[in-house]
Amino acid sequence: MSAAELTVGEIKNKRILYLVFATITLLVLGLIYAWSIFATPLGKAFGDYGPQLPQVFQVSMFAFCLSALIGSQIVRRRSAKASIILAAILMAIGFTLTALFAGVSIWVLFICYGILAGSGVGIGYNAIISLINPWFPDRIGLASGVMMMGFGISALVFGSLAEFLFGAMKEDWYLVFIMIAVVAFVVMFLLAFIAKPAPKDIGSKLGIVSVATEAKTSSTQQGFILKSRTFWVYSIWSVFVVACGLTLIGTAKQGALALNLDTAISVGFPALLVGLVSTMNGLSRILNGAIFDRIGLLPVMLIASAACFACMAGLALSLSLSIGPLYIVAAILVAFSYAACPVMGAAFARQRFGSQKFPSNLSIINCNIAVAAVINIVIVALLGPPYADNAPLIYGILAGLAVVAFVATLVFGKLYKADLAVIEKELS
């Protein structure tokens, strides 16, 4: 039976099934965020890699964004299925080559984990969100939040498991990377053949009057995203909030070790902190999506900006005065502000620019992560890793970026409301 012939009951059943399976798949892809756990055995095995290991994570985030652009074109010209299969191959190759050749050079990590695995995650992420989101025209924010929750809590679920396996296998740590490669390939391959595109008239079939208007054409929505002033102001907010989040997420364990939390609390606490940050990252995606569905985009952005500033200031103070509890609280809460960005990116792309170009528009919006990663790379290159001597200065600079993000949100609000008013008029 084709998607167009599905009954309302079948649509509801299928979209729940697809959402669950997509969330599980993104749970595997989200291992890209567990880099601070992966970096530990690599740092022990290859001591001279230490200062450059944080940069591998930033490169993976950069590749994640740029590859999503490629993935969106594959979705448009071929299918989401083809894009997900390519993503499975790239991620499997990236983790396998990292396991086998990590000792050759730090550049192997940059290329295999950073570029290949990062690209696999980026292509897969974009394709999965683009494939599943249209099944939920009435719950865009919540559906995005649930899927991205899986992406966000991966470091807790599988990252903690990887930490255990690294400890158990010791010299055979590379086998953990191979296990991840196999699991990722199998799960993504299955999703590619299970999930189907949503019916084009799904809004009408579900009786959602407001969504049925999507069949009409709005010239404002169909405009090229890069020509929109609203997009560029939104990007200022997104880039700076993401830059703050990436700095902490990529080095949470190392920061905890720098504050001696492994001895002050317990040996395994630094890894546990990575899991706690991951949990907040995942749960906050659902929370931010639910807030969006109830009161809209602007309140989420304002809350995230304010939380981001408070957390960056807290991290700067904790590392300056060696206040472990403050570091823990700020590290966990920074994931809340960071989690708003991917969920709001999907919601913004769909609400402001419509559904027809959603995959490509989402990939362009996600490029903000690449810009944020470049900011992190430059800061670390100039000032060192964000858990060393200049850590308070680094987080102080990021606190300043959070203030800029808050101001940008106020400007964005005026432009966004004006855009929505024009779109509503064109569709009426």
| Tens-digit pLDDT profile for residues 16-38 | 888 888 888 888 888 877 777 78
Rounded mean pLDDT, 99-120: 88
- Of the chain, the percentage scoring pLDDT greater than 70 comes to 93
DSSP state of 197: P
> What pLDDT shows up at residue 408?
95
> What pLDDT shows up at residue 318?
93
**207 Rama class: left (phi>0) / alpha (psi -120 to 50) / beta:** left
> What pLDDT shows up at residue 388?
83
Amino acid (one-letter) located at 357: K
Q: Which of 11-25, 179-193, 303-317, 359-373 has the highest mean predicted lDDT (pLDDT)?
A: 303-317
| Tens-digit pLDDT profile for residues 364-414 | 887 888 888 888 888 888 898 888 889 899 999 999 999 999 999 999 999
CA distances from 254 to 275, 319, 332 (A): 13, 12, 14
> What pLDDT shows up at residue 343?
80
Rounded mean pLDDT, 168-196: 85
Amino acid (one-letter) located at 330: A
| Tens-digit pLDDT profile for residues 185-240 | 998 888 888 888 777 766 666 666 555 444 456 777 777 888 889 999 999 999 99
| Tens-digit pLDDT profile for residues 275-286 | 788 778 777 877
> What pLDDT shows up at residue 141?
67
Distance in angstroms (rounded) separating the CA atoms of residues 380 and 396: 14
> What pLDDT shows up at residue 393?
94
Pick the residue with more confidence: 136 or 412?
A: 412
Distance in angstroms (rounded) separating the CA atoms of residues 364 and 351: 15
Cβ count near 231 (within 10 Å): 24
Report whether pLDDT(162) > 80: no
Domain ranges of the chain: 7-199+219-427
Distance in angstroms (rounded) separating the CA atoms of residues 348 and 36: 30
Report whether pLDDT(75) > 70: yes
CATH of 7-199+219-427, one of 1.20.1250.20, 3.40.50.1820, 1.10.10.10, 3.40.605.10: 1.20.1250.20
Burial, 71: exposed, middle or buried (Cβ in 10 Å; 0-12, 13-18, 19+)?
buried
pTM exceeds 0.75, yes or no: no
Q: Which of 93-97, 171-175, 386-390 has the highest mean predicted lDDT (pLDDT)?
A: 93-97
Least trusted range by pLDDT, from 58-67, 125-134, 151-160: 151-160
CA distances from 316 to 52, 257, 302 (A): 22, 16, 22
CA distances from 281 to 243, 286, 338 (A): 15, 9, 7
